[in-house]
Amino acid sequence: MTDLKSKISQLDRSQMLQKIQAFQEHLLQGWETGGKTDTPLKQPFDHIVFCGMGGSAIAGDFIRTLFHDKLTKPFFVNRQYAVPFFANTNTIAVISSYSGNTEESLSALRDAESKKCKIICLTSGGQLAGIAKEKSYPLFDLPGGYPPRAALGYNLGILLRIFHEAAIGDINQKCLEDGCASVKKYKDKWDDPDNPNTNPQTHPTHQTHPT
């Protein structure tokens, strides 16, 4: 197993495996971050448009898929330069860009502003952070140094928390903590060097037998 871990370390220069294994920790940290800033979700609104691209949009897909029967307000994932035509003063526009410089997300922000949407920003910095601070938009800081897709746990945790605070879905901290505990249990099991199912070098299907 030591040889296998050494090979993974050599090939996985960006430590993506470690980032994936820490998903449940990121999720809980995102939940905490999501409770530190007030949002317009506590005001009357009709629907939510989540704007993002690539890895920054994945959290929106998770929310839409996992909680489609629990959210009490319509939720849309938008991967366009503009927000949907129906967006207006009763729309919450969540602008998600890990770098803060994604062209499509910044364009969607400008369009959301022109339609007087209520704005929420999720980013690790860049232009989006600057605009949010300048215009006093609710800003949720993501930690830097990650590929956008590896920051999914933080993004998702923040969204779950702000939806919980706004009471627009059957989402609560205990369910999140129980789910994370289950993920950690299986992560620890599959990360066990004595578990042959986790090591392709010792897995029975990879063994050669004399004929």
DSSP state of 102: -
Give the integer Cα–Cα distance in Å for 107 and 53: 12
CB atoms inside a 10 Å sphere around CB 163: 24
Place of tokens 């959290």: 59
Structure tokens at 5: 């871990």
pLDDT of 101-144, one tens digit each? 999 999 999 999 999 999 999 999 999 999 999 999 999 999 99
Residues 109 and 131 sit within 8 Å (Cβ to Cβ): yes
Residue 154 has pLDDT above 80, yes or no: yes
Q: What is the pLDDT of residue 206?
A: 54
pLDDT category of residue 191 using cuts at 50, 70 and 90? low
